[in-house]
Structure 1
Amino acid sequence: MGNSLPQINSQRTIRTSTSESEYSTLKKSTSLREYNRSTSLITSCINNNNNRRNISISRPRTIAPTDAEIIDIHALRCNTSNTNEGEKKLLKQLDYIHSCVRKDKGLFGMMTENLQNKHIFSNDEPENTHVLEQTPDDYNMDYESIYLQTPDGEFIHSYWIYQMGDVNSTMTVLYLHGAGGNISHRLEVLRLFYENLHCNILIIDYRGFGKSSGSPTELGLYIDAQTAYDYLIYKQKILPENIIVLGTSLGASVAIQLVSDPLNHVKLAIFENAFISVPEIAKYFLTYAKSVIGITKSIGFIYLFDSLTKVRRVECPCMYLTGLLDPIIPPWMSNTLYNETRSSSKRQLYEFPFGKHNDLPIMKDYFENIQTFINELSLKKSDIEQTVLR
């Protein structure tokens, strides 16, 4: 399925050496509030008799769903041969996630919280958005409907869509969708990935979306994405070198957060119509408030989704896909993020002259570009292995 309009793609490739990052070397954004804790999450937990715990946030008494299997990801991660090591790694990742979000709402933030939630997440739109009217079966895709229980006790409804055979015999796409709607609204697009890339797919509804429990927050979405990644690693036993993380719009910010953590390894990250941050989007749409937003340094925003500082930490290969006719997110934001992703081992920017906000997968050469990039990564790996053998 494609678009008959002529397609001109701008490709830029940069290769740099990679090195293992440490959390201690991460430079936090000046736009984020300082992450002050008298005792870190990791230290406070490990010193507490090494018991199984969730110190970042306590599990709420959410009623467990009964219409599909529930998979407790925390138990999967920590009930291993080395439980203490699993706990330490999980706590370290939760500590990192907490360090990337705003800790206080501020007076103006509390006054405008409902308004910000509505415009950023749109999880109650369109009408009847919490009802799933289609399943992958309607598109001839083999699947399982499951709930992933997060470390803080929410139940994230997901579709695990799989190809027949060994899961590691092909790529697996972790699909992080944008604001509004639910996973059933993305099935037509997922079918294109399923057929064109012949891949497995895991798609989740963030907390508060679709049939998932809870309410959406920036912190919550980051935890949900980490939980989905852990499902692929610890439940499906998929090798990191076979995982592609793809995020679109709001999901691109979530994807950037996920792969910016040096403990999460993937083959490729794809950021579709990504934006720099919520305050930058606000300045783009609210031109009359641009000077005020600049002076306050984003103090009025509860959620930042600050991707600009995080892409500087991304080391995995990545692609930026942007539609030049996107009326929601200006294309120059993808260009800016691309230019700041300097630590990536390989990166490319594809611009679709006739692409808008939600139609890039039907653009000419969309899947060809992705497949070509994947093939180049495989060739590069093969060259490295041959060099080692010599």
Structure 2
Amino acid sequence: MNNSRKMALVAGVAGFLWASAVSVMAAGQRRLLFNPTLIREVQSPRSAGHRTRAVVLRANDGTRLAGWLMTPREPGPHPAVLYFGGRSEEVSWVARDAGTLFPGMTVLAMNYRGYGDSRGIPGEEHMVEDGCMLFDWLCSRRNVDKTRIAVVGRSLGSGVAVQVAKERPASAMVLITPYDSILAIAQRRFRGVPVSFVLKHRFESVKYASLLKAPTYILRAASDDIVPHSHTDQLVSQLTSVRLDETIPDSDHMNIPYLPETQQRIARFLTSQFAPPVLEELAPSAA
């Protein structure tokens, strides 16, 4: 076989492999991006600091969404938190830990479509649409102060929280291991593949960052091989209302939300953001 034929053969094999990689990514991107967990992380979740009840709500298209509502025991109205989980996360643990994470706050933690007891198929468009519906549902609750609702997003959920905060008047935002965009992370991991051509669920938080006004708390893991800090840096550089940007000691991408240090810091931040403004006392006028 002469060199030209060898080169043509190599080029043909390379082209076939490249086309195969593109086809696999295009066909399987939902499985690559979403990893629905059906089994509850906590079998009988209950917050020590709240009244806890399982709730089932209907998305705008009728899809059944399931999760938990935690309500403070004291009379309201209360500030509220809407929580969005990570790629593989089932959110029953939030109901268990809400007393530490969100003291004195109403908390709504719903599983994404296809996760836990929620029906349907996960996807960016539906996640954001459902998130806006859940925000509106919280606003309609009699014992919720609709002027004090925060969105909290972990990892994949940070991209949902950002887009909900763009569409709804969130009063604060907490982003745990956030990224600039799933597109950028995918391009980093799949070099040589035209990711921008095939990726449907992009979660491009960085595109919306400059539009957000809610005071924002960024929490990074000390060791994170899922969302490198450089991707968080890109997002932070575009956000206009970052109040805190902290790295949690001895944390990684998986354990960060469960650590007492993380939970206490989030509780302090949200408590301070929800606190009513302190009016300075007027100095007595001279006689």
TM over 0.5: yes
Amino acid at match of 2:28: L
Which residue of 2 is the match for residue 157 of structure 1?
66
CA distance in 2, matches of 1:309, 1:252: 13
Q: How far is the alpha carbon of 1:161 from its aligned partner?
A: 1.1
- Alignment partner for residue 270 of structure 1, among 174, 180, 192? 174
Counterpart in the other structure of 1:216: 122
Distance 1:116 1:133, change over 3 A: same
Cα gap change, 1:372/1:159 in structure 2, threshold over 3 Å: closer, same or farther?
closer
Cα 1:278–1:374 change in 2 (3 A) is closer
Alpha carbon RMSD of aligned pairs, Å? 3.0
Mark the CA change 1:266 to 1:119 in structure 2 (over 3 Å): closer, same or farther.
same
Specify the alignment match of 1:47 in structure 2: none
Partner of 1:324: 222
The 1:109–1:229 alpha-carbon spacing in structure 2 relative to 1, beyond 3 Å, is: farther
Q: Provide closer, same or farther for how the CA distance between residues 320 and 200 of structure 1 changes in structure 2, counting only shifts above 3 A.
A: same
> Which SS does the other structure have where 2:101 is aligned?
helix
Q: Any idea what the Cα deviations from partners look like across 1:216-270, whole Å, max 9, x if unmatched?
A: 1111111111121111101345223322210000111100010012xx1122100
Counterpart check, 1:137 vs 2:43: no
Bigger Rg, structure 1 or 2:
2
Q: What amino acid does structure 1 have at the position aligned with 2:265?
A: N
How far did 1:341 drift? 0.6
Confirm or deny that 1:176 pairs with 2:74.
no
- Unaligned segments of structure 1, at least 5 residues: 1-107
- Structure with greater strand percent: 2
- 1:353 shift after superposition: 3.9
- What is the 5 A alignment of 1:372-387? 372-374=268-270, 377=273, 381-382=277-278
Residue 175 of structure 1 aligns with an amino acid whose one-letter code is Y
Q: Equivalent residues in 2 for 1:246-261 (5 A)?
A: 246-261=152-167
**Which residue does 1:11 correspond to in 2?**
none
Counterpart CA distance in 2 for 1:218 and 1:297 is 16
Write the letter of the residue equivalent to 1:136. Answer: P
Q: CA 1:380–1:162 in structure 2 vs 1: closer, same or farther (change >3 Å)?
A: closer
- Aligned equivalent of 1:336, options 209, 234, 237: 234
SS in 1 for 2:223: coil
Task: Look up the match of 1:190.
Answer: 98
Render the CA deviation track for 1:124-150: whole Å, top value 9, x for unaligned: x4xxx2567613238685222121111
In structure 2, relative to structure 1, the CA distance for the partners of 1:153 and 1:331 (3 Å cut) is same
What do the CA deviations read for 1:15-39 (whole angstroms, capped 9, x no partner)? xxxxxxxxxxxxxxxxxxxxxxxxx
Q: Report the CA distance shift for 1:248/1:192 in structure 2 as closer, same or farther (over 3 A).
A: same
Change (3 A) 1:372 1:139: closer
**Counterpart in the other structure of 1:349:** 245
Q: Secondary structure at the match of 1:247?
A: strand
Structure 2: give runs of 5+ residues left out of the alignment: 1-20, 283-287
Aligned length: 263
Matched ranges for 1:223-302 at <5 A: 223-236=129-142, 238-261=144-167, 264-284=168-188, 286=189, 289-290=190-191, 292-293=192-193, 296=194, 298-302=196-200
TM-score normalised by L of structure 1: 0.60
CA contact (8 A) 1:176 1:204 kept: yes
CA contact (8 A) 2:68 2:92 kept: no
> Could you say which structure has the greater relative contact order, defined with CA pairs below 8 angstroms and 6 or more residues apart?
1
- Kindly indicate whether the alpha-carbon contact (under 8 Å) linking 2:52 and 2:95 is maintained by their aligned counterparts in 1: no
Distance in 2 between residues matched to 1:121 and 1:357, nearest whole Å? 16
Under a length normalisation based on structure 2, what TM-score does the superposition of the two structures give?
A: 0.79
